[in-house]
Amino acid sequence: MDKKQLNIVLADDHKIVRQGVRLLLESEPDFHIVGEAANGADATRLVEQLKPDVLVVDLKMPGLSGIDVAKRVAASSPNTRVIILSMYSSEAYVLAALEAGAKGYVLKESSSNELVQAIRHAISGRRYLSPPLSEQSIKTYQKKTSANHQDTLAR
Amino acid sequence: MTRSKEGIIQPAISRQPPAEMEDKVTDLSRLEQMVEERTAALNALNLKLIKEMTVRKRAEKALKATLADFRNVITRSADGVIITDREGRILMVNPAAEVLFHRKPGELTGTMFGFPLALERAAEIEIVDDSGVSAIVEMRTVATEWEGKNAYLATLRDITTRKQAEESLRQDETRLRLLLGQMPCLLWTTDTDLRHTSSSGAALADINLQPDQVVGMTMAEYLNTSDPQNVVIAAHRRALAGLPVTYEFFNPALGKTYLSHVEPLRSLEGEINGVIGVAFDITENKQAEARLLALSRRLVEVQENERHAIARELHDETGQSLAISKIMLDRAIKSLPETMTSGLREIQGILTQLIAQVREMSLNLRPSMLDDLGLLPTLLWHFERYTSRTGVQVNFTHDSLPAQLPMEIRTAAFRMVQEALNNVAKHAGVSSVDVRARVESGRLSLKVEDHGAGFDPAAVTPTSTGLNSMQERAYLLGGELMVDSSPGCGTCVTAELPLPELKGEHHGQETA
């Protein structure tokens, strides 16, 4: 393998999810899980310390959410790509995640290779959204939130 | 009279001169002259006598007439008149008196009167007839003379009707006073200086006051205040100006809340000469109301929290486990030869359905984005879902919605719009509905309007449309809900919720 090894940190408050995702990612020979965190604060600390290539983080965690973590990581470790793992397919969440600097938004229920694909997209500098989400649906949503709006909405 | 006649004749005899002292001729002529003189004197006397007798007759006639008048007056007097001698024997009685005593004409004369005669003051005597009916008679007695002897004159007036009216009035007053005393409230009147002129009512006892105990005290003294802006004093002043005022008043010294009403008190001529007031002690009602409000609020909170907890549990625990099972199954399928995976693929399909069901259940209970992202994204998400389910298009406009809204306002606003849209889908029979959300002068205003079937808001049972719960939510946040509808003219539901002082920037990030 001439592929460069990718260091990944995994953050989810559900142990079973961490275990499943770890199994999934470890099947990729160049993916290397360097750390796991069960909450947002730990994840932020771990990323700051390890400066991994990728952070896979759950959207909803007690305390700091995945979106909060993404914002902090953007400042503390700008080279770390953040992939949000989520149960929610609403554009509102996706938009919030993208605005926080996430490079990928992957639904937990999606097929097993989507997360791998998302990580590879992110590394090559592209964004990845789980189907049925798309860049187009996000744009449409963005327009709707500012429609009939006198001021612009933050997100 | 006899004497007087002799007196007249006497001088004529004494002037006759002796006959032997004169000659015959002289005597004769002198005699003649004398006769003439005497005749003239007699004539004059007669004339005088006739005149005198005419005067006397006239006087006698006048006297007789006066007496007749007097008797006539007495006889016809409506008041009874009785004259007795000093011993009380009746000398004279008029018909009115005979009627009063139920006696025949003349029957009383000569009998003893029987009632004590008191001079200088009015006495009341009771006369009972044979059938037992009594009459009250007022009697006034004066000392007089009757036929040259000392006597008493008693005038008698039947005052039975007056007495009955007085008694009835007295009874009415007593009854009224008793009634006022029983009224479970405070009642008072004041003069134009707001000085108490009366106070009554059963509620006086609750504040340890006797009826009329505060009479003479001004309202300011009674309330122990020098504040001219005091709500009670201000209300009384308005009443003095002719305006009835209803107000609620908490008396901190008594720890009681009163619902009071004051009105101008007017004289018979219509001039305002004071204030009349009534106050009901609503302390217990207020406390019950506060408890009920707290309970309602708590109920809504508990329900929402419970929904929140179940929604979160379903989505984050059950849903996550299902999702990760699906991923792992997916991975297992990939690692197995295709011939062995058909049964596993079936399970995969079931898992996908289960995940979708669990998500639906969770979202129906409470959309998590209301907590995570705020009202606007939740409304947009809801409209999309609503349209795909009902086919009713939502024309949504929004204006100046702050990103940061307090959680209870977000929840109430979302639930009210949700409920109103449900009603539109169920009852209006339309293909589109207008929803407007905006913030104006510190209030969040939500409007859901359709041009559909409409209904009569007065005829509807509140629970059937969920209007009740919408009203309750608005009320709990100090806001209001207005429903404008009539059959055939569509429906407009408007909710106004006061916003607390907004913290942070408009449209800032709103995350859980």
Residue type, B476: L
Cα–Cα distance, B173 to B211 (Å, whole number): 15
Domain A6-146 class in CATH: alpha beta
Instruction: Indicate whether B191 and B247 sit together in one domain.
Output: yes
Nearest to A85 by CA among A7, A8, A21: A21
What confidence tens digit (pLDDT) does each residue in B209-254 have?
888 888 999 998 988 888 878 889 999 999 999 999 999 988 888 8
Provide the number of structural domains found in chain B.
5
- Closest CB to A151: pick one of B323, B373, B400: B400
Contact B393, B432 (CB under 8 A): yes
Domain ranges of chain A: 6-146
Could you tell me what percent of chain A has a pLDDT over 70? 90
The C-alpha of A111 sits at a distance from chain B's nearest C-alpha, in angstroms, of 6
Chain B residues with at least one Cβ partner in A under 8 Å: 315-317, 319-324, 326-328, 330-331, 334, 352, 355, 359, 368-369, 372-373, 376-378, 380-381, 396-400, 403, 506-509, 511-512
Residue B161 lies in a domain: no
Cα–Cα distance, B384 to B416 (Å, whole number): 17
The C-alpha of B440 sits at a distance from chain A's nearest C-alpha, in angstroms, of 13
Contact B447, B492 (CB under 8 A): yes
Query: pLDDT at residue A120 above 70?
Result: yes
CATH number at residue B96: 3.30.450.20
CATH number at residue B445: 3.30.565.10
| Minimum Cα–Cα distance from B508: chain A residue | A154
Partners of residue B512 in chain A, C-beta under 8 Å: 65
Give me the interface pTM, i.e. the ipTM: 0.77
Cα–Cα distance, B351 to B344 (Å, whole number): 10
Query: pLDDT at residue A1 above 70?
Result: no
Query: pLDDT at residue B102 above 80?
Result: yes
What confidence tens digit (pLDDT) does each residue in A51-60 have?
999 999 998 8
Instruction: Indicate whether B94 and B111 sit together in one domain.
Output: yes
Contact B246, B261 (CB under 8 A): yes
- Closest CB to A20: pick one of B317, B324, B355: B324
φ, ψ at B242 (rounded to 5°):
105, 5
Best mutation target, B308, B321, B327, B363, to test chain A (most A CBs within 10 A): B327
Residue B319 lies in a domain: yes
Residue B156 lies in a domain: no
Partners of residue B316 in chain A, C-beta under 8 Å: 14, 60, 87
What is the pLDDT at residue A54? Answer: 92
Partners of residue B403 in chain A, C-beta under 8 Å: 153-154
Contact A29, A1 (CB under 8 A): yes
Would you give the DSSP letter of residue B40?
Answer: H
| Minimum Cα–Cα distance from B404: chain A residue | A154
Is B359 in contact with A87 (Cβ distance < 8 A)? yes
Residue type, B374: G
Confidence of residue A151 (pLDDT cuts 50, 70, 90): very low
Query: pLDDT at residue B10 above 70?
Result: no
Residue type, B177: R
Instruction: Indicate whether B181 and B107 sit together in one domain.
Output: no
Residue B37 lies in a domain: yes
| Minimum Cα–Cα distance from A107: chain B residue | B323
Q: Is A23 left (phi over 0), alpha (psi -120 to 50) or beta?
A: alpha
What is the pLDDT at residue B17? Answer: 55
Query: pLDDT at residue B99 above 80?
Result: yes
What is the pLDDT at residue B510? Answer: 39
What is the pLDDT at residue B511? Answer: 38
Residue B396 lies in a domain: yes
What dihedral do alpha carbons B235, B236, B240, B243 form, nearest 10°? 30
What is the pLDDT at residue A65? Answer: 87
Is B324 in contact with A145 (Cβ distance < 8 A)? no
What is the pLDDT at residue B436? Answer: 92
| Minimum Cα–Cα distance from A91: chain B residue | B381
Query: pLDDT at residue B512 above 80?
Result: no
Cα–Cα distance, B470 to B415 (Å, whole number): 8
Helix and strand counts by DSSP (H, E) for chain A: 6, 6
What is the pLDDT at residue B233? Answer: 92
Find the largest Cα–Cα distance for chain B.
216
Confidence of residue B197 (pLDDT cuts 50, 70, 90): very high
Is B507 in contact with A93 (Cβ distance < 8 A)? no
Contact B407, B305 (CB under 8 A): no
What is the pLDDT at residue B324? Answer: 84
What confidence tens digit (pLDDT) does each residue in B308-335 have?
899 888 888 888 888 888 888 888 888 8
Higher pLDDT, A140 or B386: B386
Residue B9 lies in a domain: yes
Instruction: Indicate whether B177 and B225 sit together in one domain.
Output: yes
What confidence tens digit (pLDDT) does each residue in B287-310 have?
888 888 788 778 888 888 898 899
Contact A37, A29 (CB under 8 A): no
Q: Does A79 touch chain B (CB under 8 A)?
A: no
Instruction: Indicate whether B411 and B483 sit together in one domain.
Output: yes
Residue B157 lies in a domain: no
Instruction: Indicate whether B98 and B215 sit together in one domain.
Output: no
Q: Other C-beta atoms within 10 Å of A37: how many?
A: 23
What is the pLDDT at residue B236? Answer: 93
Is A109 in contact with B400 (Cβ distance < 8 A)? no
What is the pLDDT at residue B252? Answer: 83
Query: pLDDT at residue B503 above 60?
Result: no
What confidence tens digit (pLDDT) does each residue in A65-110 have?
888 899 998 888 888 899 998 888 888 888 888 888 888 899 887 7
Instruction: Indicate whether B375 and B506 sit together in one domain.
Output: yes
Contacts (Cβ under 8 Å, ≥6 apart) of B123:
B115, B116, B138, B139, B140, B141
Nearest to B493 by CA among B464, B463, B461, B465: B465
Structural domain span for residue B132: 77-149
Instruction: Indicate whether B49 and B37 sit together in one domain.
Output: yes
Cα–Cα distance, B137 to B163 (Å, whole number): 10
Cis bond upstream, residue B264 (ω within 30): no
Nearest to A89 by CA among A58, A133, A142: A133
Instruction: Indicate whether B386 and B512 sit together in one domain.
Output: yes
Instruction: Indicate whether B478 and B428 sit together in one domain.
Output: yes
| Minimum Cα–Cα distance from A87: chain B residue | B320
Instruction: Indicate whether B34 and B97 sit together in one domain.
Output: no
Q: Does A67 touch chain B (CB under 8 A)?
A: yes
Find the largest Cα–Cα distance for chain A.
55
DSSP states of A78-119 as a string? TT-EEEEEES---HHHHHHHHHTT-SEEEETTS-HHHHHHHH
What is the pLDDT at residue B464? Answer: 56
Where among B281, B300, B322 does a domain terminate? B281
Residue B16 lies in a domain: yes
Confidence of residue B496 (pLDDT cuts 50, 70, 90): very high
What is the pLDDT at residue B463? Answer: 56
Q: Does A23 touch chain B (CB under 8 A)?
A: yes
Where among B366, B385, B402 does a domain terminate? B366
Strand partners, A33: A8
What is the pLDDT at residue B263? Answer: 94
- Closest CB to B321: pick one of A16, A96, A150: A16
What confidence tens digit (pLDDT) does each residue in B49-96 have?
999 999 999 999 988 888 888 888 888 888 899 999 988 899 889 888
Best mutation target, B372, B404, B410, to test chain A (most A CBs within 10 A): B372
Contacts (Cβ under 8 Å, ≥6 apart) of A132:
A89
